[in-house]
Amino acid sequence: MSIFSKIAEGEIPSYKCAENEEFYAFLDINPLVKGHTLVIPRREVDYIFDLEDDELARYQVFAKKVAKAIKAAFPCIKVAQVVLGLEVPHAHIHLIPMQSEKDVNFSNEKLSLPAEEMQAIADKIYAEFCK
Ligand code: 5GP
């Protein structure tokens, strides 16, 4: 089982931002900015473009709802969507609230936020997602 499957199953703790039967969203453990969220399919697929067309469409619609929740919780110019997948072999979309293009430079130093702050960020996004 991939580390992200274990997260979606609750075997490894995460800061949950949104979920439904097929998809799960949680804070990146080393965010580029506050609100940096990962969205995954519960089904274990490494490469996003190996998802079936209809599943990919539902995944994107779910990510859109999460992005809107992030923007409501953390006002920003836009929420950037990035797919890399070089580190973890389980498809994931990065959603990053952006004040400028510098915020989506993956070479930037990552943040390491206290657990209480991570929880507060996730709770804020989750509350917006559930509205
Ligand atoms: P990528 O595979 O897109 O290159 O990067 C994987 C991303 O997942 C990184 O931004 C990294 O910080 C994040 N990540 C890796 N392991 C964990 C983890 O166990 N928990 C969480 N929440 N994020 C992780």
Residue of minimum CA distance from atom 8 in ligand 1: 28
| Residue list, ligand 1 pocket, CB within 6 Å | 3, 14, 26-30, 38, 84-88, 92
Nearest CA to ligand 1 atom 12: 30
What is the token pair recorded at 107? 């070479």
Q: Output the six-digit token pair for 103.
A: 């915020």
How many C-beta neighbours within 10 Å does residue 58 have?
Answer: 16
Amino acid 51: pLDDT = 98
| DSSP bridge partners of 93 | 39
**Is-catalytic flag, 90?**
no
pTM above 0.95, yes or no: yes
Domains of the chain: 3-129 (3.30.428.10)
What rounded mean pLDDT belongs to the chain? Answer: 98
Asked whether the beta carbons of 115 and 52 are under 8 A apart, the reply is no
CA-nearest residue for atom 1, ligand 1, is 85
Distance, in Å, from the CA atom of 16 to the CA atom of 14, rounded to the nearest integer, reads 6
CA of 64 to the centre of ligand 1 (A): 20
Contact status, residue 78 vs residue 96, Cβ threshold 8 Å: no
Q: What is the pLDDT of residues 38-76, one digit of tens each?
A: 999 999 999 999 999 999 999 999 999 999 999 999 999
